[in-house]
């Protein structure tokens, strides 16, 4: 079997003199010794480059989807590279604001925003609120009666396009919990309602067809379906959302942000859409910039069946395999270019049989307890979707660049786990 495909590693990856992987000029083994494992390591230069690419592809207004990965350092980085920030909760909003991101550069999402979230966003002066339901319009109308604040809004429209991705991350089909259905007439009714309200200023349309979409053509379909409606409304803004996929395993290919942007803009031009077009990439910014480093704790061979390799993390730091059956590759940081001649099942330490990180993990021969093992392309929806199951602390996060590592999220402690327990 071959070595790990180099294209799955962060942009700044190099091989050290002893065959070990360096990211941002930093040795992963040294990082593991300093910060412990499991450990998220991000290539800071790559994060900046992907943000800059998004701005170049879509222009001002393109927003980083913070649900993919968020901390104050990430919020500042995206903002400094010219992106807006898309937040989906009061917590994400609080992090973005605490990082110094101006409120008018923030877009608030969510299919069930509470009064408290809407009040906070309106008081702060967020740039856009993406309204998802008639109930939300009712809430905004009620809040306006109390304080007179008029936010600018986009209406989230469900275009009826079924992107070929996992059913749990499809969002553009008719049967979706998100948005106002185009085909059933709810979208037209929402526009009419919003335009008649004093409580909001309707400035645009938003659509999102799903996540981890590998075929840019599905965005063409969405634009084709939306175009007559968008053009009829004459609204000045259209956000196509996010969702472009990234390659996680050997053999996968995905469009770049630049290629995605070109497809979207060409489709909009062809459809005669004159609105300002923006997007909300998240995974495409963060995923490939991140690596998760684990330490092997147990190797258990079940004769004639398989070998289990258990590490000190699991689905509390990467729930995607358990949730979606997502695939990942594996490699040994000490010998990143070595042929991976053995197949094992990489599992976590949690009390669930479903705690499997990689079902058929390829590794070099000779793996032993105490070795480091890593999974690439874990920068999105790992830390952000993690949990404290089994009351385990969540991992630390470091950004690396120019031979220097900086801690941006410290490892949780048992004191952190007890902090909210008031019993």
d(CA 250, CA 3): 10
Report in angstroms the alpha-carbon separations of 194 from 138, 189, 198, 233, 361. Answer: 10, 9, 8, 12, 52
State the burial class of residue 411 (Cβ atoms within 10 Å of its Cβ: 0-12, 13-18, 19+).
middle
d(CA 151, CA 149): 6
Token pair for residue 79?
């903002």
Token pair for residue 216?
């840019």
The alpha-helical segments, DSSP class H, found in 89-185 are 90-98, 115-124, 134-147
d(CA 385, CA 380): 9
Nearest to 124 by CA among 154, 73, 90: 90
3-state helix, strand, coil in the chain (%, to 5): 35, 25, 40
DSSP 338-353: S---EEEEEE-SSS-T
d(CA 266, CA 182): 22
Q: Do 83 and 51 form a contact (C-beta atoms < 8 A)?
A: yes
The total of other beta-carbon atoms located within 10 Å of residue 340's CB is 19
Residue with the two structure tokens 């395993």: 249
The total of other beta-carbon atoms located within 10 Å of residue 162's CB is 17
**71 in catalytic set:** no
End-to-end CA distance of the chain: 54
Nearest to 401 by CA among 47, 16, 39, 32: 47
Containing 185, the helix (H) or strand (E) segment is none
Interstrand relation of 84-87 and 63-65 (parallel, antiparallel or unpaired): parallel
d(CA 259, CA 58): 11
The one catalytic residue in 26, 51, 268, 351 is: 351
Return the active site residues: 351
């Amino acid at each position: 079997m071959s070595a790990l495909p180099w294209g799955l590693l962060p942009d700044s990856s190099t091989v050290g003199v002893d065959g070990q992987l360096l990211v941002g000029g930093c040795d992963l083994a040294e990082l593991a010794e300093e910060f412990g494992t499991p450990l998220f390591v991000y290539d800071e230069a790559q994060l900046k480059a992907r943000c800059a690419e998004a701005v170049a592809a879509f222009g001002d207004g393109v927003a980083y989807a913070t649900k993919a990965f968020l901390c104050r350092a990430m919020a500042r980085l995206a903002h400094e590279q010219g992106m807006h920030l898309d937040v989906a909760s009061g917590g994400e909003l609080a992090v973005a604001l605490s990082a110094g991101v101006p409120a008018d550069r923030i877009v608030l999402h969510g299919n069930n925003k509470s009064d408290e979230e809407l009040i906070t966003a309106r008081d702060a002066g967020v740039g856009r609120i993406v309204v998802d339901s008639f109930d939300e319009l009712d809430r905004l109308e009620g809040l306006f009666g109390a304080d007179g604040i008029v936010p600018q809004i986009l209406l989230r429209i469900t275009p009826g396009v079924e992107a070929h991705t996992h059913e749990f991350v499809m969002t553009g089909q008719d049967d979706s919990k998100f948005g106002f259905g185009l085909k059933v007439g709810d979208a037209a009714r929402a526009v009419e309602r919003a335009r008649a309200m004093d409580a909001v200023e309707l400035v645009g349309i938003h659509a999102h067809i799903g996540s981890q979409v590998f075929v840019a053509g599905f965005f063409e379909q969405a634009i084709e379906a939306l175009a007559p409606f968008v053009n009829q409304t004459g609204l000045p803004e259209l956000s196509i959302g996010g969702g472009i996929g990234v390659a996680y395993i050997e053999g996968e290919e995905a469009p770049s942000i630049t290629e995605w942007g070109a497809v979207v803009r060409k489709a909009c031009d062809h459809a005669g859409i004159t609105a300002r077009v923006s997007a909300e990439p998240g995974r495409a910014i963060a995923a490939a910039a991140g690596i998760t480093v684990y330490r092997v704790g147990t190797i258990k061979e079940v004769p004639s069946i398989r070998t289990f390799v258990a590490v000190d993390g699991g689905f509390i730091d990467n729930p995607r395999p358990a949730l979606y059956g997502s695939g990942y590759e594996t490699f040994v940081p000490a010998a990143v270019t070595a042929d991976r001649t053995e197949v094992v099942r990489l599992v976590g330490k949690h009390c669930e049989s479903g705690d499997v990180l990689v079902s058929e993990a390829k590794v070099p021969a000779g793996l032993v307890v105490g070795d480091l093992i890593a999974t690439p392309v874990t920068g999105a929806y790992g830390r952000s979707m993690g949990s404290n199951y089994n009351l385990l602390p969540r991992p630390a996060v470091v950004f690396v660049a120019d031979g220097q590592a900086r801690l941006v999220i410290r490892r949780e402690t048992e004191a952190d786990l007890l902090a909210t327990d008031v019993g």
